[in-house]
Amino acid sequence: MTTHDARYTPLLAVAAVALVLTVSVVEALPALARAGDELPRWFDSALSRGQALTASVLADLADPMFYGTASAGLLMLAGAAFAHAVRDMDVHWKGFAVACDSGLWAWMAASGILALLLSHLAWGWTRSADTPWQPLFVAFVSVTPAVVLMYGRGWKVALTAAVLGAGLTAPAAIAAAHLLTPLRIPGVAGFTAAMAVTAYLSFEICRRLPWLVLRANAHAIRPGPEASDTAAPPRPQTAVWMLRRVLADFTEAPFFGNEWAGAGLIAGAILAYLTTRPSEGLPSLFPQILGAQLAAGTLSVIVWRGRWRLHGWYPSFVPIVSVAPAAVVAFAAAPIPTGIAVVLGVLIAPPLAFRLGEHVPPHVHRFVGCVGAMAICTATIVPAIGLFL
């Protein structure tokens, strides 16, 4: 190429770009003008879908407690965030340590919410007019937070935990719900059994992933007897301590375990009930479900407070999220069978959960014992009582 040709090359390039832009404008603007009426509808549709997904994910946060309302999930999340923010302050009102006092609550919450989003994207199609609800919440309360607790902070851990929760636990819970419905076994038994099985599988997968390294203090943040060796002596178990513990147990399932989060969860659920005033279906049973859970939680803390003092932690929350609400639903809130189920759940479920948790391998989080006990107790206690009705 001569010097004379090189001088005109930039001019030709600019002219070519200008020609392309001119043709594009002439052709595209009229087309966009003709489609102008469709653009607002598209934006409205996208905004509506986004709002619906946000509300659904927030409701999933409260689904483990049978509430399933966005306000309950949002206020629970806000209460836990507050507890996490003040965890290092020397104040008596900060409550029980959130997220097993690991300092990983933010990563747990982020990974759990991501798991819910992935579950909706991957398995939302399973919802229909005949089955408008599916147990997509399981990704938030099982494998996902447990993996974060065992492997620590960082996006590699958070993303892996979210994919395992959405990819393994959610479909397993959906399948379990489908299989158990004809057998008249409470769905809780299927959901929790799916959590236990997929947790074992997930932790076996984690052992083989080169970017995951088990935390050096992973055992210290697993609730149980080994934590009591280094933990500070528990405060005196006064009436106030027991009431606080009951509130905290309402959020132990998602690994929050704090009374601020528990108060937010209950307040949000009450607010949703008072504003919607449901007259049929599961939402109409909210007062009875909450009453049974409060009874189960209070009785469980009273009965097992000695184990709390001995071990530093005890799964007194187990009947709150399993046998108690399942009995209300199964027996249509009939007082006598529901009361019997609550008492049996309180007496059997926590020690069974603790015993099962003691026998999990070191690389598996002991929450497997809790969900295993939920599955066993719900699948046996509720149907057994139903045989006498």
Q: pLDDT tens digits, residue range 83-132?
A: 999 988 888 899 999 998 889 999 999 999 999 999 999 998 998 888 88
Neighbour count for residue 280 (Cβ, 10 Å): 7
Q: Name 307's Cβ contacts closer than 8 Å, sequence gap at least 6.
A: 314, 316, 350, 351, 354
Are 355 and 309 in contact by the 8 Å Cβ rule? The answer is: no
The pLDDT of residue 239 is above 60: yes
The pLDDT of residue 2 is above 60: no
First-to-last alpha carbon distance for the chain, in angstroms, is 97
What global pTM score does this model have?
Answer: 0.85
Residue 227, pLDDT score: 40
Are 245 and 301 in contact by the 8 Å Cβ rule? The answer is: yes
The pLDDT of residue 229 is above 90: no
**Picking from 166-170, 317-321, 322-326, 358-362, which range would have the lowest pLDDT averaged per residue?**
358-362
- Cβ burial of 132 (10 Å; 0-12, 13-18, 19+) is exposed
Neighbour count for residue 332 (Cβ, 10 Å): 10
pLDDT higher at 130 or 163: 163
Residue 131, pLDDT score: 83
**What is the C-alpha separation between 291 and 56, in angstroms, rounded?**
25
DSSP 210: T
